[in-house]
Every structure is written in C-alpha cells, then in structure tokens.
C-alpha cells in the first residue's frame, strides 16, 4: 500500500511526487529533473520507492513523516538523480 498525496499536499510541503512504487532498477535518469530525490519507505513489511521533486530534503522528510509516521518508517532519501535542468523539465521541444 503506497501512500497517497493530494494536490494541496504539494503546496503545503513544497514538493511534488512524480512516481510512486517504482522499481529502482528501471529508473531512467535522463528523463528526470536534477532536483529529483528517491524516497525509500516501509509500510508494514513492504518497502516502496517514490521519485519526488523538491529543493530541500527536509521538505520531503516533513511530507512523508506526516503521512507515514503512525504506520511505517522512512528508510532513506537520496539525491543525485536526473539530468534535466528543473526549469526545462516538462517543456515540449518541437522541431519547428
């Protein structure tokens, strides 16, 4: 059971969940912004990994701590993923 974030959570914590419950072996860095972080957490006996955008790890920690502190734990928050500049992420490039 992955945790869910609502749109208002992004504004409150200043972070955005890009993908949830991913397989770490299948991550494609070249399609992620450089401000991406991998969040590994445990709920019950199951371990999950999400990709989250944020400027500070503390914003991610606050968001996940508030969501899972009663039902699980945060294992790791890792930075250094992604190859796209954050201001260019999500823009469409055309060959005009």
CB 20 within 8 A of CB 70: no
User: pTM above the 0.85 mark?
Assistant: no
Strand arrangement, sheet containing 15-19: 15-19, 46-54, 36-43, 72-81
As beta bridge partners, residue 37 has 52
Q: Are β-strands 36-43 and 15-19 bridged in parallel, bridged antiparallel, or unpaired?
A: unpaired
Rounded CA separation 50/18 (Å): 8
Question: What is the reported pLDDT for 14?
Answer: 87
Tokens of 51: 């990709």
Task: Summarize pLDDT for 27-54 with one digit per residue, the tens.
Answer: 888 888 989 999 999 998 999 999 999 8
């Amino acid at each position: 059971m992955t945790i869910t974030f609502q749109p208002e959570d992004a504004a409150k914590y200043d972070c955005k969940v890009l993908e949830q419950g991913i397989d770490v072996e299948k991550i494609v860095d070249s399609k992620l912004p450089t401000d991406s972080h991998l969040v590994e957490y445990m709920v019950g006996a199951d371990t999950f990994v999400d990709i989250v955008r944020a400027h500070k790890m503390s914003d991610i920690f606050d968001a996940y701590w508030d969501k899972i502190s009663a039902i699980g734990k945060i294992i790791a928050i890792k930075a250094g993923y992604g190859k796209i500049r954050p201001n260019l992420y999500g823009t469409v490039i055309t060959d005009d």
